[in-house]
């Protein structure tokens, strides 16, 4: 447990009504401690049920846990409190898009775009939504799209066994998917783990006077993961450990270029 988390936990224990639970749950979410983050956020929501941002936090944690129904209920609770709350419209827009609920996705993304005009991830999602909707309506017998929106990395990835994600500044998946061998999409979970990583890297580079960060590489027992900044978010590529790091880096460069072109074209 980090010193910050320990200090915030102690402060919350001393004053259960404190709003310190918000940054505490955010840090736990970023560390991937989803069960603990969920408990903290849910208890906070019980005490501060009138705050839209609290329900947004509950929704983002639930989505990282793969619980889309709870995430949707929490975001709708946010909107019952603050009908124009951009973060909730953003979350619901991406969620409805993933589920092929085109009209709802359009309504929520439209409101989110009004709240944060010029956001490249929202603009890209808005354009991709209309393309996906047109394709679905042109082939009504086809099944609804149930995967993560915007499969823009297929050509760059080929059959290399690598996967790619484009994440926005909050860790929400804008494009790509991270599928397990069983077909489970871990994109939302990975995004939650990496929410804020770009900001942390920027602060660290600024602190040491090293300029802007260009790439982060992580080698774990299961995979090699590399990331690069892309507008307000990050592009991520993951590969099995046996794939040479140089190849993974080259794939990241290709995917980051694709992501920037896609975002720039939508904007």
- Give the start-to-end residue ranges of the domains of the chain: 1-81, 84-146, 154-266
Predicted local confidence at residue 1, as pLDDT: 63
Q: Which residue bears the tokens 């736990």?
A: 28
pLDDT of residue 164 exceeding 70: yes
Q: Rounded CA gap, 214 and 177, in Å?
A: 22
pLDDT of residue 195 exceeding 70: no
This prediction has a pTM of: 0.64
Predicted local confidence at residue 146, as pLDDT: 37
pLDDT of residue 165 exceeding 80: yes
Predicted local confidence at residue 265, as pLDDT: 62
Q: Under the phi-then-psi rule, with left for phi > 0, alpha for psi from -120 to 50, and beta for the rest, what region is 218?
A: beta
Q: What is the pLDDT of residues 4-59, one digit of tens each?
A: 899 999 999 999 999 999 999 998 988 888 899 999 999 999 999 999 999 999 99
Look at 16 and 173; give whichever has higher pLDDT: 16
Instruction: Report percent pLDDT > 70 for the chain.
Output: 90
Domain 154-266: which CATH number of 3.40.710.10, 3.30.450.150, 3.30.429.10, 3.30.450.30: 3.30.450.30
Q: What is the pLDDT of residues 98-139, one digit of tens each?
A: 888 889 999 999 999 999 998 888 888 888 888 878 877 776
Q: Rounded CA gap, 76 and 6, in Å?
A: 32
Average pLDDT over residues 186-196: 72
When the pLDDT of each residue in the chain is averaged and rounded to a whole number, the result is: 84
Residue 230 main-chain phi, psi, to 5 deg: -140, 100
CATH number of the domain located at residue range(s) 1-81 in this protein: 1.25.40.10
Coil, strand or helix at 17: coil
Q: Spell out the long-range contacts of 254-260 with Cβ–Cβ below 8 A and sequence spacing 24 or more.
A: 254/156, 255/153, 255/156, 255/157, 255/164, 256/228, 256/230, 258/152, 258/153, 258/155, 258/156, 259/152, 259/153, 259/166, 259/175, 259/230, 259/235, 260/230, 260/231
pLDDT of residue 83 exceeding 70: yes
Predicted local confidence at residue 80, as pLDDT: 96
The CA-CA-CA angle for residues 135, 153, 178, to 5°, reads: 100
User: Which range, 43-47, 99-103, 150-154, 163-167, has the best average confidence (pLDDT)?
Assistant: 43-47
At 241, the pLDDT band (50, 70, 90 cuts) reads confident
Largest CA distance in the chain: 59
């Amino acid at each position: 447990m980090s010193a910050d988390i320990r200090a915030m936990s102690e402060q919350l224990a001393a004053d259960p009504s404190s709003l310190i639970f918000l940054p505490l749950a955010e840090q736990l979410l970023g560390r991937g401690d989803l069960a603990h983050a969920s408990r903290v956020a849910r208890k906070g929501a019980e005490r501060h049920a009138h705050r839209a941002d609290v329900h947004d936090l509950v929704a983002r944690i639930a989505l990282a846990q793969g619980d889309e129904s709870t995430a949707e209920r929490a975001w709708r609770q946010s909107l019952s409190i603050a009908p124009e709350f951009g973060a909730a419209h953003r979350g619901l827009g991406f969620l409805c898009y993933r589920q092929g609920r085109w009209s709802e996705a359009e309504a929520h993304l439209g409101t989110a775009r009004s709240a944060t005009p010029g956001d490249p991830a929202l603009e890209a999602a808005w354009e991709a939504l209309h393309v996906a909707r047109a394709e679905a309506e042109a082939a009504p017998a086809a099944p609804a799209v149930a995967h993560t929106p915007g499969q823009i990395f297929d050509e760059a990835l080929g059959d290399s066994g690598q996967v790619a994600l484009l994440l926005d500044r909050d860790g929400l998946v804008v494009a790509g998917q991270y599928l397990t061998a069983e077909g489970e999409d871990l994109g939302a979970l990975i995004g939650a783990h990496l929410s804020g990583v770009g900001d942390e890297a920027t602060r660290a580079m600024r602190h040491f006077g090293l300029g802007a960060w260009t790439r982060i590489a992580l080698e774990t027992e299961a995979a090699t993961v590399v990331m690069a900044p892309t507008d307000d978010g990050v592009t991520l590529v993951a590969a099995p450990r046996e794939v040479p790091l140089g190849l993974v880096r080259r794939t990241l460069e290709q995917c980051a270029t694709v992501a920037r072109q896609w975002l720039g074209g939508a904007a």
